[in-house]
Structure 1
């Protein structure tokens, strides 16, 4: 690998777009073969669980509600996000294929961050649904319609594509005249553009590396927290305790999804400077693969309408 990349070091003034990068990933982490088995297990469960949720929503007409559009979209993003990440990780590190072409690297970066952003935006849309349902129950069916939900999810997709394409397009202007080793387990944005720091102006990339997480993660999180402050205030205005508990139960599945998604990823990014590199890589990989696996269980087990629909679907499957 070093002999292949040495030809790129000779002339710093030449714009260099390398044919490949080397993903260092989990090198020097002992007993990683067990972690690969774990990732494979998580990926299979994620596929089966999220496809099952999408089937339940599609086949049960009682679930053809505006809220379930966002749930279906979240399950779809979970399937696509896991598929964009896990199979390539397993292929690279199980079969020692850690060289990835320039175009494949950018495509991987695009799709992984696109579906990560969609997951965040969908949780925001679901918090809007709960906000209107509890704070404005009489206007819920006027404000949350099939049309408005399709518009929100469509806007989320369009905005996510724009943000991630902007980050990827800024990578294409960089010259890589030094190391081609990406210190991550996939073509991560930060480790990738930092490779070009000695040879190119990476200030726009640094700006987008702070701007995009704010838009993708922190602004949605602030909206979700604000919505639940309003929901909490509205719950205290409900006089009957049983009605208050019933309203709160409609939020539990969403709150669990929010905690599963936002807490680990914020913990990893906020404390990345004090977490050892290997631990940071493992933590980051877990934050990307565990939420898609857990989301279907949360919705099927914690939401009565999904639980009943899932039971009907399973009972309708012929045995033997």
Structure 2
């Protein structure tokens, strides 16, 4: 009797709610959860992998050593305790952290023979990449503003670029960079990733991750092209405006020697700006349909590995004061041993 009543209730519920169905086993199978990703790296050929390992290890050591020397020279030489070198020391610190976010993991994967990275580790790496790329962006803009005040308003430089104001610019940059990185990381954490977990890259970048997702990524792409573009392009516009005013001011200088001195102090900064923004725009501010793994990988290697390595050489070779401070620091360290 009880069995008959239960069967009747089940039949009645199926009649009243015909859309209520048992979960399909195949539907659940397609939405498998991924706990780790596989970083395919730059090459799958063993000989090329060895060469790339040596190349990236050399570039990473050069990056760390060069930027540490700049930090040491600025901290030791009291003549370099000025706003320009304060911002340069922050840029050197950020460049060390920027390269350390990606290269050591790639080198460790090669040594251990493992190409995997956990889902949480992947999101953490992406977070720091966003944060440090934004900091590079903001510091380049702040340095351009510093050169604008020095060239266009030299008499008011000491009153405008005070220690408190410089510290406020750096702290504000860190706050905005953290919030922007947190936004994009949280948006990425909301996506679902299905069967394919192979990333054709040597680190967890946002573009290949969006391609692997089986969720709707329109919100992520829209935020990159709107909010992300605003974060990146606003400092870039400020840099252009600063150097337009600097160029106009320098052209009014009657002395050829004075013009050369003004342009030489800004030339290194312009070289770094061109290299950094050129690769960033090529990777992130194009439609995803126009992206290719080879082009994206080449561009990201340029701004994550090559640019942080070149910054110390560019700034030290074109800056007489910094070059002299580096030479004194190196000689002092050698003599101390």
TM-score of the two chains, using structure 1 as the length reference: 0.88
Q: Paired residue for 2:329?
A: 313
Task: Return the offset for 1:281.
Answer: 1.6
In 1, the alpha carbon distance for the partners of 2:301 and 2:26 equals 31
Q: Which of 117, 126, 133 matches 1:109?
A: 126
SS in 2 for 1:317: helix
Q: 1:208 to 1:306 in 2, by over 3 A?
A: same
| 2:298 maps to 1:278 | no
Pairing of 1:233-244 with structure 2 (within 5 A): 233-244=248-259
Q: Which of 214, 223, 230 matches 2:245?
A: 230
Equivalent pair of 1:69/1:150 in contact (CA under 8 Å): no
Of 104-113 and 170-179, the range deviating more from structure 2: 170-179
Task: Return the offset for 1:96.
Answer: 3.0
Q: Which of 79, 101, 106 matches 1:84?
A: 101
* Deviant stretches of 4+, over 4 Å: 27-30, 267-276
Q: Which of 297, 311, 314 matches 1:298?
A: 314
Question: Which of the two has higher C-alpha Rg?
Answer: 2
* Unpaired runs of at least 5, structure 2: 1-24
Q: Paired residue for 2:166?
A: 149
Of 232-241 and 166-175, the range deviating more from structure 2: 232-241
Q: 1:51 to 1:9 in 2, by over 3 A?
A: farther
Pairing of 1:198-209 with structure 2 (within 5 A): 198=214, 200-209=215-224
| 2:247 maps to 1:247 | no
* Unpaired runs of at least 5, structure 1: 1-7
Q: 1:277 to 1:71 in 2, by over 3 A?
A: same
Equivalent pair of 1:9/1:178 in contact (CA under 8 Å): no
Of 140-149 and 169-178, the range deviating more from structure 2: 169-178
Equivalences, count: 310
Q: 1:283 to 1:126 in 2, by over 3 A?
A: same
Task: Return the offset for 1:242.
Answer: 2.3
Equivalent pair of 1:131/1:231 in contact (CA under 8 Å): yes
CA RMSD for the aligned pairs? 2.4
| 2:235 maps to 1:220 | yes
